[in-house]
């Protein structure tokens, strides 16, 4: 069982405990929070809290997160765009709209379902049955390149490269507005949003360092086409950092403006390049994915400055 520690902020004082828990744990409903409280999983100063407890500013509450009971993930014959494959790994070009691994509301039709059909038992088990072989993920509506490990040896070697920032990850995006600088770096820590638990935010609380480098490729009326290189890989990092600059990714339903860019079903964000040292022999491999049709079609509709 994992434990999450949360400190009650000033704006959260007075909240019912079940509401506080549902805001603290992504995907947790209030009814599920009630059950966790009844099991004694919300603790303050070593003592379980009652359902009727009202949170006070500065409270440090430990939340026990039960280990999930992993469902059986079925193999499904879903077409895969495999850019590279050998005995240790695959590089897959994921389309926009495909979820990477099963989760609430997405039990099948995911990349993992397709990988199980393609690879059978030949996938790393380090991340468990729900995420076999998955080293890093990209959001459902982000397209582009992902690396999948076929065995634990490859998984550990590749994960070490991600950790020491020697893993190359380059994206292209279209963002709202006109970026004035031709290039720049955003060095701002990212953590869970203090109120909306579905979002991440630039914050100093319970955050991790995050560094994003960007370069302008083309400016259009109302939009800018950029190339982005990740130095770190935090959840929603590009989407959060570009919104932090005041230039959210076009089509982003979570961080963008309420009035979405026309013709986009999700954020206009594509994982264009991945590069890494092969886990077996150390040679450097780099792969590039062409911009998909949804991305190029959107660019064609824009008017250059």
- What's the maximum distance between 2 C-alpha atoms anywhere in the chain? 62
The first and second tokens of residue 87, run together, are: 């005995």
Of 88, 139, 141, 252, which is the active-site residue?
139
How buried is 286 (Cβ within 10 angstroms: 0-12 exposed, 13-18 middle, 19+ buried)? exposed
**Rounded CA separation 126/137 (Å):** 15
Task: Give Cα separations from 49 to 27, 205, 261 (angstroms).
Answer: 21, 24, 46
Asked if 121 is an active-site residue, the reply is no
Task: Give Cα separations from 222 to 178, 179, 214 (angstroms).
Answer: 6, 10, 18
Which residue from 216, 274, 275, 220 is spatially nearest to 242, judged by alpha carbons? 216
- CB-CB contact of 147 with 174 (8 Å): no
* Positions marked active-site: 139
């Amino acid at each position: 069982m994992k434990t999450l520690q949360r400190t009650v902020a000033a704006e959260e004082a007075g909240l019912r405990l079940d509401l506080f828990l549902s805001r603290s744990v992504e995907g947790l409903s209030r009814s599920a929070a009630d059950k966790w409280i009844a099991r004694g999983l919300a603790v303050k100063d070593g003592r379980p809290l009652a359902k009727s407890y009202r949170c006070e500013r500065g409270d440090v509450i430990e939340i026990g997160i039960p280990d999930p009971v992993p469902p059986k993930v079925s193999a499904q014959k879903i077409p895969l765009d495999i850019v590279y494959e050998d005995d240790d790994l695959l590089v897959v070009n994921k389309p926009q709209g495909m979820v990477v691994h099963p989760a609430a509301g997405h039990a099948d039709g995911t990349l993992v379902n397709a990988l199980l059909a393609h690879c059978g038992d030949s996938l790393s088990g380090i991340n468990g049955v729900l995420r076999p072989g998955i080293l890093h993920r990209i959001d459902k509506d982000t397209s582009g390149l992902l690396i999948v490990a076929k065995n634990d040896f490859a998984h550990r070697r590749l994960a070490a490269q991600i950790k020491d920032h020697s893993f190359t990850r380059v994206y292209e995006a279209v963002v709202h507005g006109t970026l004035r600088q031709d290039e720049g770096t955003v060095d701002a820590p990212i953590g869970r949003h203090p109120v909306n638990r579905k979002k991440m935010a630039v914050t100093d609380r319970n955050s991790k360092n995050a560094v994003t480098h960007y370069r302008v490729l083309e400016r259009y009326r109302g939009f800018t086409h950029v190339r982005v290189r990740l130095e770190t890989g935090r959840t929603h990092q590009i989407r959060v950092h570009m919104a932090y600059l005041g230039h959210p990714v076009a089509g982003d339903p979570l961080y963008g403006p309420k009035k979405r860019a026309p013709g986009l079903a999700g954020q206009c964000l594509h994982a264009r390049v991945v590069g890494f040292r092969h886990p077996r022999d150390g040679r450097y491999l780099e792969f590039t994915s062409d911009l998909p049709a949804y991305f190029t079609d959107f660019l064609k509709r824009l008017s250059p400055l």
